[in-house]
């Protein structure tokens, strides 16, 4: 049995744009460690995320998470805050790439968008997440979900620790 992660849920809707995750106002920042302080500052109702998030808490979202800009800041700001995995029904493609390139796990959870809308998973719920199997339990509501991890080359890049370590290990492939 794999490691079971436990933490609180921070719940977001569909089509969360990167400006809502990490606003363009702070794009000049180049140090990933300084990025968490700006997370979700512009997301209505989630202004307290940056101060309130604890290492181990989960970001839970509906469809098309991370749409919009290509800024990698939107991955760093959550990874550096200690959010261990993104749980989303789907991810927008550039965000997906940026997450994989940083070996930052995303679980794709069928039905999550609807579950969020119906309140079956809410802000502050206690979750347990098993990364290896994708089993997700909302201990507070009793709801159960299953998430799929990435596969194929994306899995290999994740396992290598991200794109740069992967390339260094493979010496450029091809």
Residues that bind other proteins (CB under 8 A): 14-15, 17, 19-20, 23-25, 27-28, 30, 42, 44, 63-64, 67-72, 75, 90, 92-94, 97-98, 101-102, 152-154, 157, 162-164, 167-168, 172-174
Tell me the closest approach of the beta carbon of residue 168 to other proteins, in angstroms. 8
Give the nearer residue to other proteins in terms of CB position, either 44 or 142. 44
The β-bridge partners of 59 are 10, 86
Tell me the closest approach of the beta carbon of residue 167 to other proteins, in angstroms. 6
Give the nearer residue to other proteins in terms of CB position, either 1 or 151. 151
Positive or negative torsion for Cα 7, 9, 10, 13: positive
Tell me the closest approach of the beta carbon of residue 41 to other proteins, in angstroms. 8
| Closest to 137 (Cα-Cα) out of 123, 121, 124, 113 | 121
Tell me the closest approach of the beta carbon of residue 65 to other proteins, in angstroms. 10
């Amino acid at each position: 049995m794999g490691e079971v992660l436990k933490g609180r849920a921070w719940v977001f809707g569909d089509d969360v744009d990167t400006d809502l995750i990490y606003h363009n106002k702070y794009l000049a920042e180049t140090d990933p460690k300084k990025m968490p302080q700006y997370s979700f500052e512009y997301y209505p109702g989630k202004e307290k995320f940056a101060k309130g998030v604890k290492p181990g808490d989960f970001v839970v979202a509906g469809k098309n998470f991370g749409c919009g800009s290509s800024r990698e800041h939107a991955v760093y700001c959550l990874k550096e805050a200690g959010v261990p995995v993104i749980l989303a029904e789907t991810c927008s493609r550039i965000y997906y790439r940026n997450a994989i390139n940083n070996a930052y796990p995303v679980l794709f959870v069928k039905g999550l968008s609807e579950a969020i809308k119906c309140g079956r998973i809410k802000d502050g719920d206690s979750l347990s997440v098993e990364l290896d199997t994708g089993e997700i339990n909302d201990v507070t509501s009793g709801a159960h979900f299953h998430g799929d991890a990435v596969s194929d080359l994306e899995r290999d890049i994740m396992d290598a620790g991200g794109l740069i370590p992967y390339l260094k290990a493979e010496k450029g492939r091809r």
